[in-house]
Chains A and B, each alone.
Chain A
Amino acid sequence: MSNRRDSLKGWGFAAPALLWTTAFFVVPFVVMAAMSLATLDGRTLIWGLHADNYLELAEKRYLWRAVLVSLEITATVTVLSVVLAYPLAWIIAFRVPARWQRLALLLAILPFWTSYVVRSYAWLLVLAREGVVNQTLMTLGIIAEPVTLANTRIATVTGFVHFFVMLLTLTIYANLVQLSPNYRRAAMDLGANAFQTFRHVILPLTLPGIATGAFLTFVLCIGDYITPQILGGNTELTVPQVIMVQLGRRADFPLASALAIVLMGLVTLAYLGAARWLRIDRL
């Protein structure tokens, strides 16, 4: 009787989350999956099990090229963000005095406080031919003529990395500060130098933080429309940009849904790849 009551109580506590997930994830996902199998006849939506949209993905070069571009940008951003965020998190966790760590973290996440769109446009101006970067490089004599930085993949990656380094710094820092100093002391006692301690003790123990941050970066980056649209100058198109084109004039929801399903597939693969190290409870 008591077990049954406990079970009911458990379901009662879980019910809001389950209802929320069902209403705002499961149902929309099912609708989107069904929509991806529908087709358009003129402006008339025909429901059914049509593979047309997925066949288009294989047939049209610009569609699968968009998938490749998205993957290339996302992989670059994820790796760069991890490489830059780890030392930053390390410095905050182990080099900054404890009383200043909170302020250091605050400074690290300051850019989060500004609008994402405004931040992207700001980068566009910074990277422009007359922008700060070009002017500085010219003043230092490194370049003679302004180089094209805005409206390129470099600009897109820069905008993304600026954002995601903050996110990764938080996840890695959270992991680092949980490590007992005894691990390092024990490694040193056993004769390991600083690099060996990092390579064989600290890094493996902080992999959950890296994996979690990297996975979040992958998910947010591959589905982002604003940054490549503003900073990339449409010199190449990512999947979200192609989705928006399908919706803008022709309202081709079936093809847009198929592209969105492909994006979800990529995210699922990324999750499966990182699942071994994804230990959110350790953060």
Chain B
Amino acid sequence: MTTATARLLGTTLLTLAAGAAAAQEELNALVWCDHTDPKLIEPFEEEHDVTVNLREYEGTGAALALLEQSRPGDWDVLVIDGIDVFRAVEAGILAPLPEDELPEADFFPEVVMKENNSADGVTYAVTEKFGYNTISYNAEAVDPADMQDLSTVWSEKYAGRLTIYDYYLPVMGLAALSAGIDTAAIGETDLDAIGTVMSEMRGAAASVGGVVASQTALATGEVDIVVGGGEWLTAVLAEEQPELTWTIPDQGAVRWSQSIGVLADSEKPDLALEFVKYIVSPEGQARLATSSCFWGMPANAKAGEHLTDAQKEVLRWDEQDAYLANSQLYPAPDTDLDIAMQDLWLETLQQ
């Protein structure tokens, strides 16, 4: 090797090393798919000169298992089902959040949900998005008036023309509402009544599908109704297929919510908190609400200032007061009730 070649090689190696040292800081977030929209993440990355690594998951159990198997510090931020925050708190994986730095005063009051997001007076998570598991339908194929009564939705009239969203908690919540049982009051003694409704629903259903499957079934005309659907299912199709819409029946709907928090073992708690604050800021909320993966109402009402009239119309912004009043939170069962509900769900699917 000549001296010149050696110098060139040395210089190159030094440059590479310097480049590596100056590499951007990274933030690792365990999220739902709506956070993976670059339109949401890139403004934060640019502002903080950071790379946000996102990993999607499905099911709180899968997320908690993943966190248990990770090294402390691997993850900084967690997005979690609003009713499952207590499970993360019990597992000791969430760090307290400074309440005074969160704009919860600007939130729709019904979705602040302190009882879900805090424990012993300490806030561990903050609601970021919400919506409804209710009835989505094709307005050109069914009578919209029929969709206002849950018992008609899965009656003989629409047998074989509906699909059921494949998640037992909201669907069983809808079945409970149909049977006149509040979702928060569901106990083991109510499961017989809920099971009866579920059997009727199952008997009328052509299929039971996840997000993509039920969306595809509705969009392709395979079915005309999605039980458990909502704005999250039809909003992204609004432009191309405006006949696909949703409603909240007279018996009410089930309200879903997702929360976000900082992980207790994060080695970048300040940056993680900044990310949480960005997500619940009006700008972040507007972007999250209209994410390319699925739309949903932002928790922060000030996000409305950053949404177009057309976007607000799709989200039914002006009807939220009535919708919030006529919806109940997901059932949030304890472990034993959860097992019993899941067993009933699987039993119903295998009928």
Contact = CB atoms under 8 A, between A and B. Distances in A.
Interface of A: 42-43, 60-62, 65-66, 69, 121, 124-125, 128-130, 148, 150-151, 229-230, 233-237, 242, 245, 247-253
B90 to A, nearest CB: 7
A43 B208 contact: no
Contacts of A245: 342, 346
27 contacts: A43-B87, A60-B343, A60-B347, A62-B343, A62-B349, A62-B350, A125-B220, A129-B220, A150-B207, A151-B209, A229-B210, A233-B163, A233-B207, A233-B213, A235-B207, A235-B208, A237-B346, A237-B349, A245-B342, A247-B61, A247-B65, A248-B58, A248-B59, A249-B342, A250-B339, A251-B61, A252-B61
Contacts of B335: 42-43, 250
A130 B221 contact: yes
Contacts of B217: 150-151
B311 interface: no
Interface in B323-346: 335, 338-339, 342-343, 346
A234 B49 CA distance: 45
Contacts of B87: 43
B200 interface: no
B216 interface: yes
A250 B222 contact: no
B64 A251 contact: yes
A234 B220 contact: no
A115 to B, nearest CB: 14
Contact of A242 (B61, B163, B207, B346): B346
Nearest to A130: B221
B91 interface: yes
B160 interface: yes
Given A129-B221, A148-B160, A242-B346, A234 B62 contact: no
Contacts of A148: 160, 206
B42 interface: no
Given A69-B350, A229-B210, A233-B206, 4 more contacts: A128-B221, A151-B163, A242-B346, A251-B61
Contacts of B65: 247, 251, 253
A62 B61 contact: no
A72 B261 CA distance: 45
Contacts of B163: 151, 233
Given A233-B206, A235-B207, A250-B342, A150 B222 contact: yes
A249 B63 CA distance: 9
A236 B349 contact: yes
Nearest to A64: B350
A151 B207 contact: yes
A121 B216 CA distance: 9
Interface string B141-174: 0000000000000000000100100100000000
